[in-house]
């Protein structure tokens, strides 16, 4: 209880920019959940917000690098402001994803719930759960572009939550493995699974239906959603999954593939210990959190820390029993309908060697390196005739070989297991305010960038103008956002994203179609023959750009 009170004090002293200025009591509160009683705040729209609810004990002291433990409290917990983000590097104020300062802490396992104005316990409303991205080293549920007020206004219960990132979320170590019965690491994924269990057990008290839970993530959040489909602890906790940039559980992909094994991850943990000058696990747990962060490799949001790289998910035999592609081959995956989504100027195209070619000669030389004996066949299937065509076509081909291919493979894999898979490509470029400068974007060339789809899915377009005007949204953008959010809610409600406003058919070998999210949105064909060729002729691994100046959330 003292830990909970301490975290409340810290949160009250460092309130997020997006937190309500004052608590407006909700009639009928407190809500009684498994942890205790909780009261929220009424927003001016009538949406009921329960912000900063603890779903686990603070992961500090002996709980640093341990499985999260459910929390309980006496009295009434006032959930009127978002909790602190998990410890990470802070953001420059002139980048695309800066929405105001957030408190940062190792004590960070909090969730937010937004409910429609008329929601009552037992209303059985659809539930949208969002998991943030950020390369598994940054990200926060408190970011304004992940806000849930407009989702709740549209008729669904919306939930997001924090999970540990970086070394705090993934450090494996031989002493931890011995302490925890033969596994270590993957604490971030355990946080996510416990949050999903909390939602399953408690969301009916807020009007949600535990049988209509959709989980959605973007980038590392999409990777998280895919991993939870393989996590035995998360089975039965959701009825649909949406992966934006992108779905990569098939095995070979631009953003995923073979995961680190536990022995490999333990070596990283020992390197971390050596870098910090610690003698053992006890010393590591005694270090302040900022010291832990200081030796973690980080190249996002303008940071340049050359430290120990934390790889993310680990095949630990517990959270992730085997490599994903092995589990998929045996059907050991949550059999739920999916949406596999990607953007036309996504991170995979930017990382591909094809994105750096400028002439036909450079294109052919790069293809030779990538495809070797299959290069001639590739050039026939993916031709470029003139230098003028190179920038657009090479980028398009890079996208096809990356997230487009893996998204289609995910959908087809689920079809083989008896459930539907839907594919979309988000192609709408944001309409920028004239003359606006954004440090990590060139607004003239950025296109439909990595994360550009998120404000449309969650109807948070206006959050991009909350501190300064960066976008000039049009009625077409608002209609597209309403259609995309409507598809999410329909997917949670029925298992299909198709609506009267936006008919959407599942992908099959026969249909081979995707949704093109532009103004207007429409179904368009995929080039199945080209994509099948890419699947049959994987490229030779080569050095790829890490695009360090581009935030992944």
Q: Where are the domains of the chain?
A: 2-356+391-536
So what's the pLDDT on residue 544? 57
- pTM for the whole structure: 0.94
So what's the pLDDT on residue 21? 60
CA distance 171 to 314: 10
| DSSP summary character for residue 25 | P
Residue 425: Cβ within 10 Å count: 22
E strands along 266-420, which residues?
314-315, 338-343
What DSSP assignment string belongs to 479-528? HHHHHHHHHHHHHHHHS----SSS--PPP-TTT-EEEEESSS-EEEE--H
Burial (CB count within 10 angstroms: exposed 0-12, middle 13-18, buried 19+), residue 452: buried
So what's the pLDDT on residue 9? 36
Find out whether 504 and 494 touch, Cβ atoms under 8 Å.
no
So what's the pLDDT on residue 6? 38
Question: What residues contact 282, with CB distance under 8 A and at least 6 apart?
Answer: none
- Which superfamily, per CATH, for 2-356+391-536? Alpha/Beta hydrolase fold, catalytic domain (3.40.50.1820)
Question: What does each C-alpha distance from 248 to 243, 516, 536 come to in angstroms?
Answer: 9, 20, 17
So what's the pLDDT on residue 246? 84
Find out whether 528 and 514 touch, Cβ atoms under 8 Å.
no
CA distance 195 to 201: 10
CA distance 336 to 420: 8
CA distance 185 to 263: 11
| DSSP summary character for residue 308 | B
Nearest to 192 by CA among 139, 153, 148, 143: 139
Q: What is the mean pLDDT of each run of 10 residues along the chain (553 residues)?
A: 36 42 90 98 97 98 98 97 97 96 97 96 97 96 98 98 98 98 98 98 98 97 96 98 88 57 97 97 97 94 89 94 93 97 93 94 97 97 98 96 95 96 98 96 94 98 98 98 98 98 96 97 97 94 56 64
So what's the pLDDT on residue 22? 82
So what's the pLDDT on residue 549? 43
Q: Which two tokens stand for residue 436?
A: 């606006």
């Amino acid at each position: 209880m003292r830990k909970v009170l301490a975290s409340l004090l810290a949160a009250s002293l460092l309130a997020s920019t997006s937190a309500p200025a004052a608590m407006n009591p909700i009639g009928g509160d407190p809500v009684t959940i498994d942890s205790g009683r909780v009261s929220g705040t009424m927003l001016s729209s009538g949406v009921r917000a329960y912000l900063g609810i603890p779903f686990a004990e603070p992961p500090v002291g002996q709980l640093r690098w341990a499985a999260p433990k459910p929390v309980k409290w006496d009295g009434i917990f006032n959930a009127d402001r978002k909790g602190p983000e998990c410890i990470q590097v802070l953001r420059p104020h002139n980048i695309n994803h800066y929405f105001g300062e957030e408190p940062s802490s190792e004590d960070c396992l909090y969730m937010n719930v937004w409910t429609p104005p008329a929601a009552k316990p037992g209303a059985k409303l659809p539930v949208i759960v969002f998991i943030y991205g950020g390369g598994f080293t940054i990200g926060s549920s408190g970011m304004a572009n992940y806000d849930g007020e407009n989702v709740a206004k549209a008729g669904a219960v919306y939930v997001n939550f924090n999970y540990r990132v970086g070394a705090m979320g993934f450090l494996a170590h031989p002493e931890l493995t011995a302490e925890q019965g033969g596994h270590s690491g993957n604490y971030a994924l355990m946080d996510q699974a416990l949050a999903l269990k909390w939602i399953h057990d408690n969301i009916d008290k807020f009007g949600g239906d535990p049988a209509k839970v959709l989980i959605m993530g973007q980038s590392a959040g999409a990777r998280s959603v895919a991993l939870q489909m393989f996590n035995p602890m998360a089975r039965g906790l959701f009825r649909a999954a949406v992966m934006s940039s992108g779905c990569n559980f098939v095995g070979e992909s631009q953003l995923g593939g073979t995961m680190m094994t536990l022995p490999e991850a333990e070596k990283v943990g020992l390197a971390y210990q050596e870098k910090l000058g610690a003698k053992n696990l006890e010393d590591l747990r005694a270090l302040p959190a900022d010291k832990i962060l200081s030796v973690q490799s980080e190249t996002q949001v303008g940071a340049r820390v050359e430290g120990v790289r934390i790889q993310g998910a680990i095949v630990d035999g517990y959270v992730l029993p085997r490599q994903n592609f092995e589990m998929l081959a045996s059907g050991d995956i949550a059999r739920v309908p999916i949406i596999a989504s990607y953007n036309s100027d996504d991170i995979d195209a930017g990382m591909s060697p094809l994105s750096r070619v400028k002439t036909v000669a450079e294109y052919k030389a790069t293809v030779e390196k990538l495809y070797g004996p299959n290069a001639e066949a590739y050039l026939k299937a993916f031709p470029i005739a003139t230098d003028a065509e190179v920038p657009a076509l090479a980028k398009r081909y890079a996208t096809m070989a990356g997230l487009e291919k893996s998204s289609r493979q995910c959908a087809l894999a689920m079809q083989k297991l008896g459930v539907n898979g839907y594919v979309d490509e988000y192609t709408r470029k944001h309409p920028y305010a004239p003359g606006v400068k954004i440090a990590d974007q060139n607004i003239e060339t950025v296109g439909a960038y990595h994360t550009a789809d998120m404000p449309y899915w969650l109807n948070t377009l206006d959050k991009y103008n909350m501190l300064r005007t960066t976008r000039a949204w049009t009625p077409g953008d608002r209609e597209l956002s309403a259609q995309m959010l409507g598809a999410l809610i329909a997917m949670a409600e029925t298992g299909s994203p198709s609506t009267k406003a936006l008919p959407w058919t599942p992908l099959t070998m026969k249909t081979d179609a995707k949704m093109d999210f532009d103004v207007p949105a429409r179904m368009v064909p995929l080039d199945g023959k080209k994509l099948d060729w890419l699947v049959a002729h994987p490229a030779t691994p080569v050095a790829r750009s890490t695009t360090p100046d581009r935030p992944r959330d």
